[in-house]
Amino acid sequence: MGRPVFAGMTSLKERSWCIAKARLVLGDRVVTGGVEIHDGLIASTWSGDEHPRNAIDFDGDYLIPGLIELHTDNLEKHLLPRAGAAWPALPAMLAHDAQLLAAGITTVLDALSLGDLEEDGGRTRTLRDALDALDEARDHHLLRSEHYLHLRCELSWPGLLELAEPLLTRADLRLLSLMDHTPGQRQYHDVRQYRSYYSRNGITWSDEEFTAVLEERRAQQSLHRDEQMAGVMRLARRHGVLVASHDDTDVAHVDEAVAVGARISEFPTTLAAAQAAREQGLHIVAGASNLVRGGSHAGNVAAIALARAGCLDILSSDYMPTSLLQGAFILHEQAGWTLPEAIATVTSTPADVLGFDDRGRLDPGLRADLLRVRLHRSQPVVRSAWVAGTQRL
């Protein structure tokens, strides 16, 4: 940190502006000070209470980097707000985008499913419309946050490879995840959870029908999973796309993920799986929603337990965007992490893992993706947000 260089004292043009009297959450400490922004980048930072003319006075609010989300299903919720009630894709995309920014998310990987084990689940019907809406909104500068893609590959779904292959050439693709939602293992180790999930989406079975569904899904897994995993990994290697495993439950799942070349373990469902992922050098993603709720809605390991065991690197909001920032503060308040360590799980660490070397920290030369955050009791509230130096909220 150096002495501030203010626009009025230099030849910088009016594209420069400042923030003062903020609590800056840096990589290793929190200091009172300010930043200068020029041309959408952080030009300098300083400590102290200096207040240049026309600076935005944060009055002690936190200044943190914009949040980076690598897995959110939130767009799918806007596309299908109720079972059987599809929403037009462009307004769904814009509503999703606005909700993300209000939650402080300035960079997002929209997680879209390639395949759905239940034919009436809706995800395969909305995929093309969602991609078209994303492209249209981006091309016409309608988005507030910066959007990329995370393709969730349902390994037991017939037709996965044919659907995936043309999408691997997209320039906005940053992550593939290997999913297997076959009932009886991983997230649905308890098959009652599988039945309950789909009943909320309007799909119900009698006991006899459900027994038949279980047999069909397991046969489908046996027929397609291994071949399609190998095909997905060939595509990922060919196009240089990062890969995550999903819902690892035991050591064998982690071993398989490492063997095929995954680098991330998303939402391990047990502490044993998370510890195996740590030992194998995988980056571990846990649910911020799990932290906010005080545990998993599906009966899996609590994210706070992963944090206390040193088995958590990145938070993801998953199904609730507002949980991301709150989850980071919960790590600070309840798991004994320093605030910089906690904020790193939603800023610098996902930036590093995903290859975003231009954001995620309050460092000179990086993009001015910035949040003004005030604590109301223990609740962090996003009061303002800037993306590449332009105020969006």
For the chain, the domain total comes to: 2
- Provide the 10 A C-beta neighbour count for residue 147: 20
Query: pTM for the complete prediction?
Result: 0.89
Report if residue 302 sits inside a domain: yes
> What is the rounded end-to-end Cα distance, in angstroms, of the chain?
27
**Between 95 and 193, residue with greater pLDDT:** 95
Q: Is residue 24 part of a domain?
A: yes
| Confidence at residue 255, expressed as pLDDT on a 0 to 100 scale | 97
Does a structural domain hold residue 2?
Answer: no
* 186: pLDDT strictly greater than 60: no
Instruction: State whether 372 and 332 are in the same domain.
Output: no
322/296 same-domain check: yes
pLDDT score, position 53: 87
Query: Are residues 176 and 94 located together in one domain of the fold?
Result: yes
Residues 383 and 343 in one domain: no
Average of per-residue pLDDT values in the chain: 89
pLDDT digits (tens, 9 = 90+) for 28-72: 999 999 999 999 999 999 999 888 988 999 999 999 999 999 999
Question: Residue 275: which domain range?
Answer: 66-354
Mean pLDDT of 348-359: 98
Residues 350 and 318 in one domain: yes
Q: How far is CA 66 from the centre of its chain?
A: 12
Q: What integer is the mean pLDDT of 350-355?
A: 98
Q: Cα separations (Å) of 56 from 45, 48, 206?
A: 14, 15, 61
Which CATH number do you get for residue 137? 3.20.20.140
Residue 1 inside a domain? The answer is no
Clarify whether residues 79 and 186 are in a common domain. Answer: yes
- Among residues 307, 356, 293, 274, the alpha carbon closest in space to that of 106 is found at 356
Q: Do both 100 and 52 map to the same domain?
A: no
- With respect to residue 260, please indicate whether it lies within any of the assigned structural domains: yes
